[in-house]
Amino acid sequence: MPYLQEQWNSHGRQLSPLRRYSSQREFEADWIGTLRRRYSLSQEALAVLANVSVTTVQNWENPQSRKSIAPHNQDRLRDIERDLWIKSHVTLLEPCPPFLRALYDLLSSNKDSSAQGLAEYLIGSMPEQDPERPRLLHWAGLAHSIADPASSKAREYQNAALKALGKSMTPLAAAVENEILGSQFEDLMTQAPGPERQEKGSHLLAACERLYQRDHQAAYKWNALEVACRTPLPAATQYDLLGELNQLLGETAVHRKIQSDDAYEALRTAQVSSAALN
């Protein structure tokens, strides 16, 4: 079955979809547009990747177009989406252990079940205190989420990776931790509002707090505040973090950044509402 047909069928089985479509063609047009926005692709860039004309991409994104997307182009779009996902989520930080290269090769070859099996075997055999464990748990989550973003196994491994952060002091630790935080923050931003997004945000914030306690770098407090604003977590959590940053850096510097960076828009909105009430 062509890829977008499978996606349409899967959408139809959802009890409470985020969006309802009047037709499969409208769904396909929105899928193409969302793909381009997610990976910051122009229509010209997507046309090059898909080996079609720009006019063809424009027709794909036009829900009123009567021309359906050919099955071979649907499969090509599946491969493009997968390649873009891997490039945005997977980083081979050096030194890279051979087992991570093996996982990367399996994912790149579209062998998800093999990658999942290898990851689970490695997790079972790796000591809890191994400094590579957070990165392995992160990759195990990737191996499951690339096949199914809603996978409970993916969430289990992602949360385990976040909980394992902050325990390593190796020279590579900071780079690995930033990779994990960055990837999981991207996943947070794609989740629909609800309990799962709240849970994800809470785990991310806790990881940032642990890293701050270890290194005392203000950047981790800023990361925690962004997570609290973007999730969003309760206003009390946002204000607590704001107060800690004021103590660390001074109110003037913190206020300037809050007002100039859209990452903290939720906090600005809360401040305006509070001022209006007072």
Q: For the segment 81-99, what is each residue's pLDDT rounded down to a tens digit?
A: 999 988 888 888 888 899 9
Q: Which domains, ranges and CATH numbers included, belong to the chain?
A: 3-86 (1.10.260.40)
% pLDDT > 90, the chain? 58
241, pLDDT greater than 90: yes
The pTM for the full model equals 0.76
How many C-beta neighbours within 10 Å does residue 104 have?
Answer: 18
What pLDDT was estimated at residue 169?
67
Structure tokens at 268: 């600005």
DSSP summary character for residue 41: -
Structure tokens at 74: 């649907």
b/e map 160-191, b = 16+ CB within 10 Å: bbbebbbebeeeebeebbebbbebbbebbeeb
174, pLDDT greater than 90: no
175, pLDDT greater than 90: no
